[in-house]
Structure 1
């Protein structure tokens, strides 16, 4: 009898502890919902990366999934992942620090700071326009860059790959996400401080935030490695005005040009909750830091796979658990459902599923799945996915043109001609379709 009483008391203590744990954070239920979703479905099983959810300094959930394909080692909490464009946050913070010190003004032009900058047209661009991707500058990625990237040692080595390009639009006129623009910001940091970009970051961003596992960055546009724990430390320091003051913080998370981007920060409204942070993605790289205006919530997701290879699915479902469904989230999850149905049940059932979902899928994501099939030599499956895309976007010219491209790869020349012609009916200026039709008809 005594043992039973002790056992019941023990159970009671455990239950009270569980209740207390749930009450330790207002986010506990949402964290638990995310964890159950990850561990009870194939969502976590297909994810290769690490997740951290925190309330300020307090970690509410952290877990590593999968492995690294390079060395086959299991991912861990302290696994380092490529930052890609997440590094732009550090560049923007560095600029704002220099502004606070009176060494830079956001209204200053590139020409005023970098007097020897080679492109005269680009000298009129302001620091603010570089920060907000409204400069008119483009990118440095190209086949030529890929061929020579291993020889790049300094920020100035990036210049030959974009410095002579004409501006794509008048500075301030509109937005165009620009890696080249953030390289120029790095050059400005080096010019004003007399230090290398990474030397400045280490002393003024990483050290104050106690980020011991981050850097060096490949460039001021991104790259380099970090961990989910270091990004939590960064977020906590940034939210607490340890890296920039409150005025600079507010400037960085304000949508100055109504383009969903502040200064080095992507901005989103998810059902009234204002999200800021940054993502990064490339082949074999994906990650994002989500912070919330007015709240201490920090969500970090990082992966050593491409965005649609498990990471985007995990990130989107966590967002849904915390912030509710949105048209963007619903469209993403619809796309996943259609692709899953295609894989398991074939084209006809996928088409029915798409109809049931109101033909509401994301064109870019569907195309990426088709492209992946094509790269694997499965052109017929790529054609099927594009047919689903045509079903979802019957009034747009580009799905027909892409479908025709994949049909050519699959040896379906007559069908390709029909769809090139359909794309021309919707867009008579589709030059590629015109050329392809000429080429195909000349072969008859």
Structure 2
């Protein structure tokens, strides 16, 4: 045993030294880059941070706001604020805090499919029929005309309500077979080939990944993107984190009360269109790789298609004019500069990721107060204007009214009060039970807690409230759902559920 230890210990020592050297090198590189940025933009931090602090105080914001500037060398600047930090208290919010990036996941998925094409494991111009023949839309759609590229750039034309709701909110068995069944049985189709944004295409593309590689989208994301870029605190699974560490969604009322607080995703609802949790430090590695078009992931030609429009779109969002879509990025224009953006939202969470390829700089921003969902975009614009030497304060003044208007609109939303709770009684106990839908939607369960009732739909649950007219509703965090119960039938929207016998 002593001999084995003498042999092994030097190897452990070498490994430890290599890891320590690598970590120190990363830290030194980041320090040099942030120091360089500060020297080149000496007034940036004070101007940006004063703006954010003023908004926080003026709007009496809750939750977190975290912001980063990234260039071709990595993280150049970062700033985090919440009520604790603003009041000089200790906070766990920093560059290593896990944040949900929602639909920004689509840029990662597009990159993964491009990597697999470069490795000749698939061809984006080949058809869905070739890679996933079991998805046939009940033989009503010619899937030989749907390419893998069209799945990524939202021109495939298909949509399924049940598949979308299960993957985004409610959960399901976790098996592709169930989703394919839903797509075949419940779908809409637009054969025009026009850009129509949804989660459906990237999720199907994730199934294609599994079909051609034998490994899940989640596994391949780790092997081909997270690991090569050393994104060690990034995952496609909620269970890889302590739930208390993930920055939650916040729903805030005009009375300055937190109505709902939580993170409403499970492993089952982390998918190829919205299924990544990461950190500012890790995301800066990803965004920097895109800015410099790093050969670690792709060659120059592959990056070119990934960052160029593959289909037109014509849409204004906040201050950005979107004229195209690549394989995962919106191709847009801001202040006469080309900018690639990919945003994401869930309940109160708002995530911004963008970069200007010609200027070689980009922005990451996150907030989680539902009333301030435009704040990441407003502050990204201010940062770009400061960095690029534009009239930043004047531009900010012209854009802020859009933020104020959206904030006021969200702030005026009325939320249920405890007086509206459906209180337990012998009469209302008849609604208790489990309800099943014949079209394979997740089960609904109504139960008791304390003196009120609970509504559980798939993985979501919430309190039951009474409506002013007949019926009930439940706030499930990411959505509010109306329903009514007649005899042994529960009706919600167009869905009919039947009470299961005990």
CA distance in structure 2 between the partners assigned to 1:338 and 1:291 by the alignment: 26
Question: Gaps spanning 5+ residues in structure 1: where?
Answer: 1-19, 344-365, 378-408, 412-444
Question: Shift in Å at residue 262 of structure 1?
Answer: 1.0
d(CA) in 2 for partners of 1:170, 1:160? 21
SS of alignment partner, residue 279 of structure 1: strand
Structure 1 residue 313 and structure 2 residue 380: aligned? Answer: no
- The residue aligned with 1:102 is 120
In the comparison of the two structures, how many residue pairs are matched? 328
The answer for the alignment partner of 2:247 in structure 1 is none
Q: CA deviation at 1:61?
A: 2.1
Of 58, 61, 65, the match for 2:81: 65
SS of equivalent to 2:52: helix
Residues 258 and 195 (structure 1), Cα distance of their counterparts in 2 relative to 1, 3 Å cut = same
Superposed CA deviations along residues 328-379 of structure 1, whole A, max 9, x for unmatched, are 9878622344577xx7xxxxxxxxxxxxxxxxxxxxxx4x555xx23357xx
In 1, distance between residues paired with 2:395 and 2:133? 44
Q: 2-side partners of 1:77 and 1:287: how far apart?
A: 15
**Superposition deviation, residue 155 in structure 1:** 4.4
2:56 aligned to 42, 50, 59, which one? Answer: 42
> Cα deviation per residue 1:174-201 (whole Å; 9 max; x = unaligned)?
1111211111100111111111111111
Residue 272 (structure 1) aligned with residue 272 (structure 2): no
TM-score normalised according to structure 2 size: 0.58
Q: Show structure 2 runs of 5+ residues with no match.
A: 1-33, 85-89, 238-269, 314-323, 418-466, 470-502
Between stretches 255-264 and 157-166, larger displacement belongs to 157-166
Instruction: Tell me how far apart the structure 1 counterparts of residues 358 and 294 of structure 2 sit (CA, whole Å).
Output: 11
Aligned-partner Cα distance in 1 for 2:380–2:158: 34
TM-score, normalisation: structure 1: 0.64
Deviation at 1:106, TM superposition (A): 2.1
CA drift at 1:269: 0.5
Q: CA deviation at 1:296?
A: 2.8
Q: 1:185 aligns with which of 205, 209, 226?
A: 205
- Displacement of 1:108 in angstroms is 0.8
What aligned pairs does 1:178-217 form with structure 2 within 5 A after superposition? 178-216=198-236
Higher share of residues assigned helix: 1
CA contact (8 A) 1:139 1:162 kept: yes
Please identify which structure carries the higher strand content: 2
1:229 aligns with 2:281: yes
User: Displacement, 1:228?
Assistant: 1.4
Q: Could you tell me whether the CA contact under 8 Å between 1:66 and 1:74 is conserved in 2?
A: no
